[in-house]
Amino acid sequence: MKKVELIDISKSYDKQSNVISNINVTIEPGEFFVLVGPSGCGKSTMLRMIAGLEEITDGVLKIGEKEVNDLPPSKRDLSMVFQNYALYPHLTVKENIQFGLHVKKIPKKDRMIRTSDVAEMLGLTDYLKRKPRELSGGQRQRVALARAIVNEAPICLMDEPLSNLDAKLRAHMRSEIRQIQRRLGITMIYVTHDQIEAMTMGDRIMILHEGSIQQIGNPIDVYNNPANPFVATFIGSPPMNITSGVGDKESNAIRLNDSISIPVPFEDERYLMEKIIVGIRPEHIKAATKESKEAEKILVEVVNVEILGNETVFSFLMGEGSWQVKWSGQWQIEVGDKIPLIMNYESFCFFDSEKKEIIKKPSDVENHVFGKEVFV
């Protein structure tokens, strides 16, 4: 196992503007580290710099304890899975998988054993004699995965390896890749734009936006305590509801619009700013009950409904946009219905409107974390 350390890493193509700016992060040995962000944020460029396929403009890259800025990819002791497969069309699946082992002069018997194990793991046993052109997109992607895994390099880089698979196979492969990484104990750096992959696979995730780090942390910590509005709206499905608010010291509340305001406890009156950004997760907006106080109820009109079987998601207008609510189960809600809701102060995030930094974390995020004694 080896760690990967990026120290003040920047990348520029024109020597005027950076596409990657001042990246500082240490990826620990044996860690599953996920780079996540929207298209064009620089995550694949960063991965290629680690692999040695892109030149580093500024900063230092270390693999283990060794500086590798000037080392070619073949000397960095890592494997990589590309988004576009990068298979050899004239070789069979078996030969593609074994190619790296052949270059490293691994004994033939060991090559056969490793290839057989990986092919069975990824469901490729029946395709070993085929050429890439005879495979579907998903099958080709699995061959690319197999080729990287079979090398058993201490570091494996993956650039959106599941992007061409169907939803069911993606879910299966997420689990398979995670189990493979744990079993081999390798350091894995995984690039994706899919926040579901990031949340379910990573030990830690790094959210990038326009070439800069927005937040690094455990997926659940990032979900519960987003560093800024971008992270809040990028991580989560549906995303966090965000709007601007105005502090009203006379009523000791933050007004979101003419009909909705958030009462603020006296000890938190520092949040009664002239402008503030307010956020709440869709699942933290609750249905009002008969026991709810009338003053706490917020009546909204439904503008869209999605019943997904195990949960119901509906939207209502808020300012110039719309907010979403996510409830477990199947609710008989239709467009045009007026629904009474409850939004608890403890569930809100507040962000500074100028610095775009979180200033109030939610204290009620409904985490149900139990010790192992519960299962005894």
Kindly provide the b/e burial profile for residues 278-306, where b requires at least 16 CB atoms within 10 angstroms of the residue's own CB: bbbbbbbbeebeeeeeeeeebebebeebe
- Evaluate if residue 46 carries a pLDDT over 90: yes
Per the listing, tokens 């033939």 go with: 108
Q: What average pLDDT is seen over the chain?
A: 90
What's the pLDDT at 373?
Answer: 55
CATH number of 229-360: 2.40.50.140
Low-confidence winner among 170-174, 280-284, 354-358 (lowest mean pLDDT): 170-174
Mean pLDDT, residues 221-236: 94
User: Quick one: pLDDT band at residue 165, thresholds 50, 70, 90?
Assistant: confident
- Percent of all residues in the chain with a pLDDT value above 70, rounded to a whole number: 97
Residue 165: helix, strand or coil by DSSP?
coil
How does residue 369 score in pLDDT terms, banded at 50, 70 and 90?
low
In this model, does residue 105 exceed pLDDT 60?
yes
H helices of the chain, in order, are 43-51, 93-103, 108-121, 137-150, 167-184, 195-201, 219-224, 229-234
Q: Place 192 in a pLDDT band, splitting at 50, 70 and 90.
A: very high
Report pLDDT for 330.
92
**CATH 3.40.50.300, the chain: domain bounds:** 4-224
Mean pLDDT, rounded, for 146-159: 89
Confidence bin at 170 (pLDDT 50/70/90):
confident
- Asked which of 3-7, 82-86, 111-115 is least confident by mean pLDDT, the reply is 82-86
Residue 102: what pLDDT? 83
Instruction: Calculate what percentage of the chain has a pLDDT beyond 90.
Output: 65
Give residue 375's pLDDT band: very low, low, confident or very high (50, 70, 90): very low
Verdict on whether the full-model pTM lies above 0.85: yes
**pLDDT score recorded for residue 19:** 93
Q: Hey, which CATH number is domain 4-224, 3.40.50.720, 3.40.50.300, 3.40.190.10, 3.30.479.30?
A: 3.40.50.300
pLDDT above 60: residue 367: no
CB 242 within 8 A of CB 358: no
Measured on CA atoms in the order 179, 181, 185, 190, is the torsion positive or negative?
A: negative
Token readout for 10 is 């920047």
Q: Is the pLDDT higher at 358 or at 162?
A: 358
Q: Decide: 23 and 37 in contact? Cβ < 8 Å.
A: no
| Residue 80, beta-bridge partner list | 157
> CATH 2.40.50.140 in the chain, residues?
229-360
Q: Residue 44, SS3? A: helix
